[in-house]
Amino acid sequence: MNLVKWEGISEYASGLFNAGGDNNIKWAGAAWKAISNKGLASYSNEKERHIVIIRLMTLATIYNEFHDLVFDDCFCRDDIYDWIYDSEILNFHRIRVWQLVGKDFYCDEDLKKSVINQFDEYNEMDLLIEDVNELIDEQREKVYLALVKHYTDDIELFISLLSTTYSEFDKEFIDIENLSEAEESGLYWICQRMPRSPRENI
């Protein structure tokens, strides 16, 4: 088995974890260790390696969704356009994405209609964004479980995410019994196992 190590993806990851303060990449590195400890960064072929990269994108998605929910750091799932474009440095190829998604995904008529542009032709990048988001959602549960095991419980995971924006001084005064409304929403979302689009699904 091969392993996707943090040193090999950290340059690419720096463009994914944009929210928060100076601790964002530090948090991402620690979270990737959690992913690795659960065996989720290992692969034996190219399809599996692409799944590992999707898990990195999943980790970045839930990180950015949390900060959007709690701190209003705007994040849209279409923002992964840049992630896909930049992923060439990791030899991340769309043909592997299409292999992973499978033919059933393309049977969705609503999806087909959503990616038809004004000239009634398929917009390839829009479809690819939908593909990658589909794969990200498939990996949410595994990534969530790896993080909870690493941080011991939902509350500690919540505090770790807060600490990427709060200073070490502020972190010492986080009172779980007296959270702001936005913080409560973030904690509740984590306790719901970090579902897709938190502003819509909590």
pLDDT at position 102 is 76
Rg of the chain (C-alpha set): 17
pLDDT at position 197 is 85
Cα gap 118→82, rounded to integer Å: 23
Report yes or no: 10 and 57 within 8 Å, Cβ to Cβ.
no
pLDDT at position 202 is 75
Report yes or no: 34 and 59 within 8 Å, Cβ to Cβ.
no
Give the up-direction half-sphere exposure of residue 187: CA atoms within 13 A in the CB hemisphere.
16
At which residue do the structure tokens 């065996």 appear? 39
Q: How many residues does the chain have?
A: 202
Mean pLDDT, 10 residues at a time, the chain of 202 residues: 95 90 90 97 96 97 95 87 88 87 58 48 74 94 97 95 78 81 96 90 75
Torsion of CA 70, 74, 78, 80, to 10 degrees: -80
Q: Does the global pTM surpass 0.75?
A: yes
pLDDT at position 76 is 85
Cα gap 46→53, rounded to integer Å: 11
